[in-house]
Structure 1
């Protein structure tokens, strides 16, 4: 779930009256399905007994329509368990819905070849039973070439496995791509993860002397829902990888949050692992012609790159259009009125003026992006709030 979706859900909760705009960020917190699943597996399996320092493992949450995989590294085990993401998680279109679609397509191809009314055809699609489907034609309905005998359609093992193969292959490849730093455990959870066939295929591909497959011991529990509660109490994951490269087109090249420096090297690239409290800072200033000005509001647009290839693409904007692969992620906005004591008297070519220096700090390493302001006064560092507005909620820059 990205910043847009998080913003949409927060706004929905605010509009519904569950929270106010003032406490929406503190009272609503987001956790990825992978992180929730990790905490779930710690509680519902013996996985915690194998979490030694330096261990790499992969979580595969195979659900109804998507399969999410994330790789983790055990950073420490004492006094508390701490995990780092090793790269950005992957989300692929594979799951139980795809299996249902494959079966539906197969069944329709069979029903198209036998003499049934439209109502009968639709009823059979809705109320079929596993493995042997009663087509209601009685003992007189026989189509040996279609495996229909006495009104019942028999499905072979090969036919059944064909419904699963595409989704299983996609899920297995997604797991494999997360293993580039090694893997000692694969955690398989989710609704589609309950499939014995998927478990068998994952086990046959990855199980061995150096990799074990872990499934949950409670098939009735919901890995994400239950794991989210455990996540709130434990907070085991302390570092996360950026899902895309980030930067701003309007900052000078010395700013750390630029995607591209003068030398063309990426600073905040995809898969950059950052701790939750780690921040990247960009320096800004405002100039005023008197000592008691209206400081106003500040806004900067943050862009992301998640196209193909490396993260070393340079910004290219023509007629306000971004180069392919780039997108406007959000605006970071803040009220500068609380920084009045940070004004400093300066002398320029046109006489005296007052300058306000401050930094915008952005945190990418938590479950959601965060930002705040920093400024200096009297030898001390002060901080102030900044609001992140997803692009569909952004307003005109002040």
Structure 2
């Protein structure tokens, strides 16, 4: 429990819940804000299976029985008696399931091979079950720690705001998935899912955490630049921020779109596991002994050597016992400990570290960065810290750390701080989109324009020949956008007579991943060009716009009706926001839009 903002709360009572579901560990933080009360943040501890430790994190694990029912979660799933029962009863373990939610482009780029999901269990089911588990024990913890907690929870839970942290590379599709899981896990009803569930990128969440915990804010001066490298379990995000104002309210802006690489700490574990398995398999051991020794070795590496390695000139020990085996002389084993040379251990790390450094180098190019804040689970590695200090401090960038930083905990806490700041109108950082957004438009066919020839054409309702496939950008990759900036796309619909029902209007929004500003998004055959992809359908129910129908006389003298409105979009926040806007009786009105992600590439 800690106070995270000065002064007493002066608004209506509010519960804010911050959640980070990490690849290997998860965390929940919350604040209960009430009039005249301190603005206090709590971390959920006392998770089943680790009550005595007071751990803020809980393993991201779910066991399923043969009936496909979730039967064990978190730290309890690691207990020896549970592991034995799971083996006897043929339970299936869901682990590292977050990797399955990464966008396909990210998985293909990094050749990611995630552990298969339990047979017959969908990813949505696993997320729903795990989120329900988090909610149950958050509720128990809240009711125990907050005075009159049961009544407070019952009174304010349904109006709770929850914020989910997610990787930088995730977008509308992944956010929609998380929102559906939260609804199914009974966090919020579907009617409140849009207003009561918010998202925060894992690049921004640590920023709010570090402003709260560290002295970073005291180092920030106007017109200076700093970077945050969040080296997490699976993803490493690097973001460069410029300070536009330090006092009285801190104003920041992303200097360019953040960079993300799949080079987190779990891939160091994978390298160690591959080495142990390969080495032991060549030692004339039984397959059972190889499997058990490898499992023991990986567990010991993750507990000890992973967080102590720094010297590549020395030999290091990994416990692979307690199995007593006769090992060949080519494998150095002393009292159940395998001796591994420093350069070999360094190789476990460098597969990831080299990729991280390449990503950070590219981000820093062209910027004078005074401070680099290295955070995340992987940042607790002395070796990674040493590599950063040796590379960047001679170049004038000071490396800063946050002691005992935990990625899931920081993201959960940062989410709570973020929502509180939004509620009190404190500004967040301006963001730069990771790709360009745009819509498909048409242009009047011009025979003299060679680029129009051989393209598919369409005839409009007014009889004009049009060439579709034209790109109209509404937000450009890497160009900083204020969170409140609104992009308006005008829409004009013609009706030959007064319609009895207006129905629904759909606008397709596309991504473009390159840095240039293209003219066309389709080739002459009508197919999407490379680097373009359909991202989301924006649906608008037109029934509320009936009062905006305007009669007009067409050129042939017939009475027709026209409906004019705007689709308004905001791209500056973590989540895409869209709504409709129109004029009716000299009054500007707004309506709700529904965003539906798509994997359709046409």
TM range, smaller chain: 0.7 to 0.9
TM-superposed CA distance for 1:365, in Å, is: 0.5
Mapped pair 1:110 → 2:317? no
TM-superposed CA distance for 1:113, in Å, is: 3.3
Aligned pairs for 1:104-253 within 5 A: 104-128=273-297, 129=300, 130=305, 131-134=316-319, 141=327, 143=329, 145-149=330-334, 152-180=337-365, 181-208=367-394, 210-219=396-405, 222-235=409-422, 236-250=427-441
TM-superposed CA distance for 1:382, in Å, is: 2.2
Relative to 1, partners in 2 of residues 1:349 and 1:214: Cα closer, same or farther, differing over 3 Å? Answer: same
Name which of 270, 273, 276 aligns with 2:477. Answer: 270
**Structure-2 separation of matches of 1:17 and 1:66:** 29
Q: Say whether the 8 Å CA contact 2:375–2:405 is kept in structure 1.
A: no
TM-superposed CA distance for 1:219, in Å, is: 3.7
Q: Say whether the 8 Å CA contact 2:505–2:541 is kept in structure 1.
A: yes
Name which of 514, 521, 524 aligns with 1:315. Answer: 521
Q: Say whether the 8 Å CA contact 1:317–1:323 is kept in structure 2.
A: yes
Q: Secondary structure at the match of 1:178?
A: helix
Q: Deviations over 1:116-170 (max 9, x none)?
A: 2222222211112443235558797562x54445664222322211110121111
TM-superposed CA distance for 1:267, in Å, is: 5.4
Aligned pairs for 1:86-101 within 5 A: 86-101=255-270
**Structure-1 separation of matches of 2:497 and 2:274:** 73
**Structure-1 separation of matches of 2:195 and 2:256:** 27
**Structure-1 separation of matches of 2:327 and 2:280:** 12
Mapped pair 1:35 → 2:199? no
Partner of 1:369: 576
Q: Say whether the 8 Å CA contact 2:229–2:374 is kept in structure 1.
A: yes
Partner of 1:396: none
Partner of 1:359: 566
Mapped pair 1:384 → 2:598? no
Q: Say whether the 8 Å CA contact 1:140–1:150 is kept in structure 2.
A: no
Higher relative contact order, chain-length normalized (CA < 8 Å, sep 6+): 1
Q: Say whether the 8 Å CA contact 2:296–2:320 is kept in structure 1.
A: no
For structure 2, list consecutive stretches of 5 or more residues without a partner in the other structure: 1-169, 306-315, 445-468
Q: Deviations over 1:1-57 (max 9, x none)?
A: 210000111122223332222211110000000110111111222111111112212
Partner of 2:451: none
**Structure-1 separation of matches of 2:187 and 2:589:** 32
For structure 1, list consecutive stretches of 5 or more residues without a partner in the other structure: 394-398
**Structure-1 separation of matches of 2:325 and 2:543:** 84
TM-superposed CA distance for 1:292, in Å, is: 6.4
Please provide the CA RMSD for this pair: 2.7
**Structure-1 separation of matches of 2:583 and 2:327:** 85
Mapped pair 1:343 → 2:534? no
Q: Secondary structure at the match of 2:206?
A: helix
**Structure-2 separation of matches of 1:134 and 1:241:** 46
Relative to 1, partners in 2 of residues 1:29 and 1:138: Cα closer, same or farther, differing over 3 Å? Answer: closer
Deviates more, 1:242-251 or 1:33-42: 242-251
Q: Say whether the 8 Å CA contact 1:259–1:269 is kept in structure 2.
A: no
**Structure-1 separation of matches of 2:244 and 2:588:** 31
**What TM-score do the two structures reach when normalised by structure 1?**
0.88
**Structure-2 separation of matches of 1:89 and 1:268:** 16
Relative to 1, partners in 2 of residues 1:295 and 1:316: Cα closer, same or farther, differing over 3 Å? Answer: same
Q: Say whether the 8 Å CA contact 2:441–2:470 is kept in structure 1.
A: no
**Structure-1 separation of matches of 2:197 and 2:296:** 41
**Structure-2 separation of matches of 1:44 and 1:284:** 47
Aligned pair count?
384
Q: Deviations over 1:312-365 (max 9, x none)?
A: 262115776422211110111111222223222211123222211111111111
Q: Secondary structure at the match of 2:565?
A: strand
Mapped pair 1:330 → 2:536? yes
Q: Secondary structure at the match of 1:284?
A: strand
Q: Say whether the 8 Å CA contact 1:44–1:218 is kept in structure 2.
A: no
